[in-house]
Amino acid sequence: MSQNNFTTKHIKIKDLKQRESIEIMLKVNTPISIIAMHIGVGERTIRNEIKRGLVDQQDSMYGFKKKYSADYSQTEYERRNVTKGPNLKIGKNIELSKEVTRLIRDEKYSPGAALAKIKSESVIEVNVCERTVYNYVRDGILEIEYTELPYGKESPRKNKKKASRSLKNKDGISIEERDKAIENRDCYGHWEMDTVVGGTGKGSSVLLVLTERHSREEKIIKLPNRKQESVVKAIDKLENKYGKKKFREKFLTITTDNGVEFLDHKGITKGERTKMYFAHAYSSWERGSNEVANRLIRRFYEKGYNIEKKKKKQIIKLENWINNYPRKILGWKSTNQFLEDKQIF
C-alpha cells in the first residue's frame, strides 16, 4: 500500500471542484495514483468515486460509453447526505461502522453475519439491522461498494422438476431412495459432497468439499486432480483420521452429483463404511448445502484460481473460517457453536 493510501484513507471527496479536477484528469488518462495524490485522498477513494460517478455519455454518432461525470457524482453525493439525515443510527456509533466495514471488506462477511459476529464476540452496541446495513451500502453511507458484498440477492430458485437418472450411474443408488428424515435435515451425519475446480487443465488441483446437512459442518480436502482414485484416497484418509467406528457414526450417508470423480461409489462406500446416493442430473438444488458452501469458498478462490499453490494449512484455515461463520439458518450461530450447543461430536 502506498504512503498516500495509508495517510489519507479516511478522507472523503466532498466538493464539486475536486470532482471536476478528477473528470479533467481522467479525460487525459491520468493514472489513479497521480489523481489520488493531487486530490489528497487514497487510491481506493478515487476508484470508488469513479464508480459512483459513471454515466452513459455519447461517445460517437452511434454509440454510448460510461464516463465519469463530476456533476452527476456531486448530485448523488448531496442526495446521499440528505438520506443520512441528522439521526442516522450508525453515524452515532463509529466503532460499529468501522467493524462492520472491516468484516465485510476484509473478512468477506455478509452484513447479517457481520452484525451477528459483533453481537456475539464484541462489546460494541449493535443498534442497526441487516437490512439497514444493505441500505447504508447502497446509499454510500458506509465506505463499502455494493460490489464488495459477498453476493446480493439470491438467484431465482430453479423449478424442482424431476430430471432423468444419469446413465453413468445406473448401478448407483438414486436420491429417490434416500430416507425422508435425511431430506428434512432432522439428524446429524448426512453429508453432501462436491468438488470445487480451480485452474483449467486435466492435472489441476481441486477441492473435495463435504457439507453436513443438519449442522452445515464443512470438510475441505485438497486433491491433486479430479480422478476417482483421488476421491477414494481422500475418503480413506478421513476414515483413518476418525477410526472405522467413529467414521461410520459421523458419515452415515453421502449424496453427490453425477460427476465422473464420484463414479467409483463402491470404492467410496467400501466395507459399508457409509451409504452413497446420487442426485438427479442437472439438479444442483438437491445438494443445496453444497452449493451454499461452494459460494463461501468462491469468496476467496474465484473460478480459475490456481488451487495448486495453496498449502494444507491454508485449506484448513478456510475450513475453520466456514465452520466459524455465523449462519442465519442456524439462528446466526456458527456451525461450531451449533455443534457445541447440540453436544454433537
Residues 209 and 293 both lie in one domain? yes
The helix (run of H) or strand (run of E) holding residue 144 is none
Q: What is the pLDDT of residues 290-311, one digit of tens each?
A: 999 999 999 998 877 888 888 9
Count of positions (residues) in the chain: 345
Residues 199 and 254 both lie in one domain? yes
Taking CA atoms, 163 is separated from 157, 256, 284, 298, in Å, by 16, 15, 11, 27
Residue 246's CATH number:
3.30.420.10
CA gap 175, 66 in Å, rounded: 49
Residues 330 and 295 both lie in one domain? yes
Q: For residues 108 and 328, is the Cβ–Cβ distance under 8 A? A: no
Residue 32 is assigned to a structural domain of this protein: yes
- The lowest-confidence range among 126-135, 219-228, 286-295 is 126-135
The whole-number average pLDDT for the span 66-80 is 81
Residues 114 and 232 both lie in one domain? no
pLDDT attached to residue 302: 82
- CB within 8 Å of 274: residues ≥ 6 apart: 235, 247, 248, 251, 252, 253, 254, 268
The burial of 256, by beta-carbon neighbours within 10 Å (0-12 exposed, 13-18 middle, 19 or more buried), is given as buried
pLDDT attached to residue 6: 39
Q: For residues 222 and 198, is the Cβ–Cβ distance under 8 A? A: no
Residue at a domain's end among 44, 60, 82: 82
CA gap 222, 307 in Å, rounded: 8
pLDDT attached to residue 199: 67
For residue 345, pLDDT over 80 is answered with no
Residues 124 and 71 both lie in one domain? no
Residues 249 and 327 both lie in one domain? yes
End-to-end Cα separation, the chain, in angstroms: 44
